[in-house]
Amino acid sequence: RGARTDKGVSAMGLVVGVRVRSKVRDGKGVVSVGSGVGENDEEINFPQVLNRVLPPEIRCVGWAPVEPSFNARFDAAHRTYKYFFCRGNLNLERMREAGAQLVGSHDFRNFCKMDVVNVSNFTRTILAFELNVIGHVRMNGVDVEICEVQLQGHAFLWHQVRCIMAILFMVGECAEEPDVVSYLLDLSRCPSKPSYALASELPLLLYDCAYDTKHVSEWICDQVE
């Protein structure tokens, strides 16, 4: 898998590497040719085949041929997460000021659930942070703004996005100052993670897993039923 998500988190652009039977004789990823493969056979419609057996809430929307050494997790160039929420009384400018401090390479041990058994390096790189109002809905006769935080990074720690959102919500509620992010990233001033509740997993979406063209040169998406 291109990324591992918590229970309850949705995924829109998850990439999964699988070995499958093919009906072509050569090309990227073809390691052997079956005896029944003809010279001009068309490739199997993989999304159609998979979607027949997958539950309706899980859909395959495209595929790409890759080399046998391809690893969906470790070959990913970057991943994009989105987190949706109602604005309410949140101060978005304060949240943007705080979020901007996340960009770059930092030790995020104060922004994750510690997994010392499997992880020894807590440095991760955030490539971009955005917070935007994306729409309005009418709820109980009141016009409510829907907001979206988008985080793009090479890789993420366990619960990292939910921890980030928890801090941003406190900043937006004026319970913390925007520079609390810099404080938590500075291990000389904050050597251990403070106690705070995680943001909910339900509004979190794994939006995209991106790959360099040397790994994935073409996505075939026009065969979906």
- Which of 6, 41, 115, 186 is the catalytic position? 6
Backbone angles phi, psi at 86, to 5 degrees: -85, 135
Annotated active-site residue 6? The verdict is yes
Whole-angstrom distance, CA of residue 16 vs CA of residue 3: 9
DSSP class per residue in 181-225: HHHHH-TTT--SPPP-PPPPSTTEEEEEEEE-TTT----B-TT--
CB atoms within 10 A of CB 37: 14
**Between 160-172 and 92-100, two packed helices, what is the crossing angle to 10 degrees?**
140
Active site residues: 6
